[in-house]
């Protein structure tokens, strides 16, 4: 929050956050981040991503999810890095799915990853459900996928948002 008060634009926030965190000498410590502002009045999203997994955007009537990819490198790699922001339309009813790599990299007993394509398919298939239900379905599907697996699992963070345009 300390970096938002001066200029809340996503690129500026990540640039200042990165400068505050500094560069780690070992290069083994870094962090990814995704920061967005949703304009309900304009039906748009302004975002910046510091090397984070692509956020999925599913607009009403679309058959596939759009990937909102990284606009810069992970935080703590280069304290002088200047992040940029991007604007994308997000009309009323659009879904946004933010997740950590533990979701897509979860492995079944045979070693196959759950994968981004499965996440996209589930989001499209269940788009009419509530965000709580979509989150639950994704978590349940990943848990089922991994059942019996001896592969180590990473933690999973998942946020599903439905855009509501208006006042």
| Strand order across the 33-39 sheet | 33-39, 44-50, 86-89
- Kindly state the percentage of the chain with pLDDT values over 70: 95
Q: Is it the case that residue 24 has pLDDT exceeding 70?
A: no
Mean pLDDT of the region 26-37 = 85
pLDDT of residue 167: 59
pLDDT of residue 113: 96
Q: Is it the case that residue 2 has pLDDT exceeding 70?
A: no
Confidence of residue 27 (pLDDT cuts 50, 70, 90): low
Confidence (pTM): 0.91
pLDDT of residue 132: 98
Picking from 159, 153, 113, 118, the residue whose alpha carbon sits closest to that of residue 135 is 159
Residues 129-146: tens digit of each pLDDT: 999 999 999 999 999 999
Phi-psi category of residue 26: left, alpha or beta, with phi > 0 → left and psi -120 to 50 → alpha = alpha
């Amino acid at each position: 929050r300390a970096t938002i008060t001066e200029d809340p634009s996503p690129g500026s926030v990540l640039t200042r956050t990165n400068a505050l965190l500094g560069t780690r000498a070992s290069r083994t410590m870094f962090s990814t981040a995704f920061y967005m502002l949703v304009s309900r009045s304009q039906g748009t999203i302004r975002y910046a991503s510091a090397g984070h997994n692509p956020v999925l955007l599913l607009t009403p009537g679309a058959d596939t999810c759009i990937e909102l990819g990284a606009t810069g490198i992970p935080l703590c790699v280069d304290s002088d890095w200047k992040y940029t922001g991007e604007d994308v339309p997000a009309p009323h009813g659009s879904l946004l799915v933010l997740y950590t790599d533990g979701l897509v990299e979860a492995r079944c007993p045979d070693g196959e990853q759950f994968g981004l394509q499965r996440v996209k398919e589930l989001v499209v298939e269940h788009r009419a459900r509530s965000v709580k239900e979509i989150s639950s379905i994704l978590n349940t599907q990943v848990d089922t996928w991994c059942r019996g697996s001896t592969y180590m699992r990473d933690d999973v963070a998942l946020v599903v948002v439905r855009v509501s345009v208006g006042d």
